[in-house]
Structure 1
Amino acid sequence: MVPEGGLYSSSDPAYWTAALEVYQDAVKAKGRKQPKLLLLDKWYQEELPGAVTQRKEKYLTKEELVKLMEWKLCRGTFRPRLQQLVATNASETVEDCTRKAFELLPDIAAAVKELSKLKAVGPATASAILAAGAPKTAAFMADEAVESIPGLAPVRYTLKHYLCYLDRIQSCVERLNRADERKTWTPHLVERCLWASAVADKLQVASLQVLDGEKEEAGHGPEEADRARKKPRRE
């Protein structure tokens, strides 16, 4: 499924849509060691964005921040100390900082700096917060996504490295939207595709190979990914 030079090098929406189609399978494979990941990922990808955007002013509650951290650690490297530390933030502080961060957008640097005032929140966690409420502006700084972009490995959890990563993600979004008449690609979707492709390849997810053969038959936009996932797989 991955084109020569890696997924990031491709401007063909069909390859990216195929990667998005294996996202859930990649989450399931990753979740073999972290059983909570399936439910947490559904919450982060679907429920949290809805809750944040429905508010008059975008912000996260303390409970949401704690749960977001749990999702992030299950999806990546689990660090119990961070989970404990993030829970020590006061509810009012969490709401104030996250509200101000969203207000600072599209100034990503300023928003990340504001969120970094919270205990246990660095650029990577800040990016997850911003991506949940502003997916057209921010992308989560997932290790697998960063490492799949030429020149960005090894991952450095700094604001400078995140801004470099986001710049490359946004360039990719522009390329895909030029090639795709639907123009529905966002930084958040691109990150999900890169993560899914890298994880599926590493964990040898079977649907990765199946979709390679189906690539030419698939649609070219993110909307087709959900529909294509329901098609019977060729054994």
Structure 2
Amino acid sequence: MRNKIVATVAAAGVGAALLASPAVAAEQPPVAPSVAGAAKVASVLKPGQGLKPGHYLRSHNRKYVLAMQTDGNLVLYKGKTPLWASNTGRHKGAFALMQTDGNLVVYKGRTPLWASNTGGQRGAFLAVQDDSNLVIYKGRTALWSRYMYVGALPSGMLLKGGQYVRSPNSKYRLVMQTDGNLVLYTGKSTALWSTVTGRHPGAFVIMQTDGNLVVYKGRTALWSSRTQGKGAFLAVQNDGNVVIYKGHKALWSRHG
């Protein structure tokens, strides 16, 4: 099986579409975000606050910076090293908004480009932590982090070892393990399905822009969904099924 690696990103992004659109915004976006005076150097983005192009958040220990770049990409850095990105570059003038409904969204004008898919959690806020993590909290409950996608793995995005896609109801996790196996779990340790690609440390999985979900070790394909459909995405559903969709059409599922 020969598959071309496409749309590999320097830093894995986080969640977009649940079942259709590439980003989900649960409330009307403003024309531009309201940014508190200290927001560009604080470690927290509160409900209703945003980051305009060129503004940033910084961890308390000053080691990590979340920058809303002028090219439209929202990027977490350690020094000059990118750790995570929304992969929304080439959208000059885009901004990030921590909506009051709990959803973190990158907008270009009124068009959502990327979302954390954490809407329905009023009062949630974004924190840039001293441990290099980027987390959305509701109180003390973590709703999202830079290591996870919520609901779906969008077209062109990948999971490295230790990253995962979580179902919206938090009952299921599709984990790219550090041993190279892609595994669906329920609870803490009950495995429901896997690609059986263990013993390949360093492997990753990518939802290619051609619609094929592939587990790679370097440039060698270890497993593939054998699907085609430009813009297709992978969904981890509340019923425990893992499905590749092209729009609303199912191309593949773990149940065959």
Judging by fraction of residues, say which structure has more strand.
2
Report the TM-score, using the length of structure 2 for normalisation.
Answer: 0.28
Judging by fraction of residues, say which structure has more helix.
1
Which one has more relative contact order, counting CA pairs under 8 Å at least 6 apart?
Answer: 1
